[in-house]
């Protein structure tokens, strides 16, 4: 489909047909969240989006960038058959924990109660290498309970408490960008202080999940995978609710570096490869710029403007960064179209950004990509944007733009 003649602009964004709450997490949401992921959806938004897409019990729902699992959690409260995918193994495990039912919370509490004294001896003995000691502490807690019903979710709940503890004790490794951690966590407290922090985190996790578990009807399938490479059955999903990583040069690996550093002790993880494979990664070293027609007119026009900008690195690093993002996004949108059944719907939350004074109109870019791949655009609905993740990194170009970014939900039907 050739779309050069299609005019898309914010002037044509339709607001009146759909009333959706903001996808942004409120402060209250963050306080009640099992793991307050900074890029997470609000549950109210997902609930409204699922209503808009007609999701009920038995519907098949997918989130290709599931993050901390809000989409899968809310879908499971409806009895939907939910699937979540995330390349970051830490976020995939947090998603599993958020889907835990009451039985799994009880199993997790029993595991800790029965093993904490024994595990504490191991922790104190190995404390010369804190991350290794924490791993052996976790192994000692879990080893007598392998194979128990509900153990996977119980393990995930304990892991979330460990992640929270490690993150809270790693503040000294933060960089000037508040979403980044610059080095492997330096945990300088005593073993007793770690145990106290862990017990506090565990109590919070259990309290929140006990409340969440009362309304969970079904259990989601969570995959730690690259969405483009993931093998899902085509034409099988009724609804897709998701948010591709924004064009903010936020490093989603560095943002969870304390947790990933710990996971690396538990299992082999190539953090450099993980960074390279993330959609929206700021890493472009060795990338050859080739701009395929499949990204569409809107994205191609943005790349030409960036390439021609007179500022330093416009035609090198920044061109590679944006081109890499658009190509990855186009592949992802094509796959979303293939996975949706006929009559199924998708709601994608994206945000405009700026390169210098150049508007990169991502809602329109995604709308065009969707139409190129056989999706029918139902509308682009902007949200009032008071705060933006762009402004977390004050060195970014977007944070210097005079016009604030616009966050919008794009609704498609197939």
Asked if residue 384 and residue 245 are part of one domain, the reply reads: yes
* Residue 96 in domain: no
* Residue 93 in domain: no
* Residue 4 in domain: no
Angstrom distance (rounded) from CA 409 to CA 150: 36
CA distances from 348 to 231, 232, 345, 377 (A): 21, 19, 10, 11
In the chain (414 residues long), the average pLDDT of successive 10-residue segments reads 35 55 82 78 94 97 96 97 97 96 94 95 96 95 70 94 93 57 78 97 96 92 97 97 90 88 92 92 80 87 95 93 95 97 97 94 96 95 63 50 78 97
Please return the burial class of 288, using the count of CB atoms within 10 Å of its CB with bins 0-12, 13-18 and 19+: exposed
Asked if residue 225 and residue 109 are part of one domain, the reply reads: no
Model pLDDT, residue 324:
93
* Residue 94 in domain: no
Domain boundary pick from 166, 198, 213: 213
Asked if residue 126 and residue 188 are part of one domain, the reply reads: yes
Q: Quick check: 187 and 169 in contact, CB under 8 A?
A: yes
The answer for residues whose C-beta is within 8 angstroms of residue 337's C-beta and 6 or more apart is: 370, 373, 374, 375, 414
Give the torsion through C-alpha atoms of 195, 32, 280, 48, to 10 deg.
160
Model pLDDT, residue 254:
84
Asked if residue 106 and residue 51 are part of one domain, the reply reads: no
* Domain encompassing residue 175: 102-213
Sheet containing strand 376-383, edge to edge, reads 221-224, 81-86, 60-63, 237-242, 340-351, 407-413, 376-383
Domain boundary pick from 166, 197, 213: 213
Asked if residue 303 and residue 225 are part of one domain, the reply reads: yes
The number of distinct structural domains making up the chain is 2
Asked if residue 242 and residue 196 are part of one domain, the reply reads: no
Q: Which residues of 137-160 are buried (b: 16+ CB within 10 A; e: fewer)?
A: bbebbbeebeebebbbbbbbbbbb
Model pLDDT, residue 321:
94
Place of tokens 């989130």: 63
Asked if residue 313 and residue 373 are part of one domain, the reply reads: yes
* Residue 161 in domain: yes
Model pLDDT, residue 37:
73
Asked if residue 153 and residue 123 are part of one domain, the reply reads: yes
For residue 325, what is the domain's CATH number?
A: 3.40.50.150
* Residue 348 in domain: yes
Strand partners, 83: 62, 221
């Amino acid at each position: 489909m050739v779309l050069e003649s299609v005019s898309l602009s914010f002037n044509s964004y339709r607001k009146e047909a759909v009333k959706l709450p903001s996808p942004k997490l409120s402060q209250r949401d963050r306080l009640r969240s099992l793991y307050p992921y900074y890029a997470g959806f609000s549950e109210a938004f997902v609930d409204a989006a699922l209503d808009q897409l007609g999701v009920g019990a038995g519907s098949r729902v997918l989130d290709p960038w599931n993050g901390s699992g809000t989409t899968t959690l809310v879908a499971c409260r409806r009895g939907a058959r939910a699937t979540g995918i995330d390349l970051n193994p830490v976020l995939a495990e947090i998603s599993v924990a958020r889907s835990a039912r009451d039985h799994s919370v009880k199993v997790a509490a029993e595991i800790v109660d029965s093993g904490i004294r024994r595990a504490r001896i191991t922790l104190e003995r190995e404390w010369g290498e804190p991350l290794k000691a924490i791993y052996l502490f976790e192994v000692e807690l879990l080893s007598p309970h392998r194979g128990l019903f509900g153990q996977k979710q119980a393990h995930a709940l304990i892991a979330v408490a460990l992640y929270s503890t490690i993150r809270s004790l790693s503040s000294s490794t933060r960089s000037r960008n508040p979403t980044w951690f610059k080095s492997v966590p330096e945990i300088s407290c005593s073993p007793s202080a770690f145990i106290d922090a862990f017990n506090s985190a565990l109590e919070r996790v259990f309290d929140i999940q006990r409340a969440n578990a009362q309304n969970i009807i079904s259990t989601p399938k969570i995959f730690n995978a690259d969405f483009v490479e993931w093998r899902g059955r085509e034409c099988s999903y009724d609804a897709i609710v998701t948010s591709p990583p924004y064009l903010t040069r936020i490093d989603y690996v560095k943002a969870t570096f304390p947790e990933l550093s710990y996971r690396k002790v538990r299992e082999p993880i190539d953090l450099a490869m993980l960074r390279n494979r993330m959609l929206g990664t700021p890493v472009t070293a060795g990338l050859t710029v080739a701009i395929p027609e499949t990204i569409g007119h809107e994205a191609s026009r943005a790349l030409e403007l960036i390439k021609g900008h007179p500022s330093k690195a416009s035609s090198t690093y920044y061109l590679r960064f944006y081109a890499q993002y658009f190509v990855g996004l186009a592949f992802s949108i094509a796959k979303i179209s293939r996975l949706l059944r006929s009559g199924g719907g998708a709601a994608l939350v994206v945000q405009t950004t700026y390169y210098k004074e150049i508007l990169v109109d991502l809602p329109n870019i995604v709308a065009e990509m969707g139409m190129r791949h056989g999706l029918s655009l139902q509308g682009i609905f902007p949200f009032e944007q008071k705060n933006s993740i762009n402004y977390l990194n004050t060195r970014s170009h977007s944070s210097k733009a005079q016009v604030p970014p616009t966050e919008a939900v794009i609704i498609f039907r197939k």
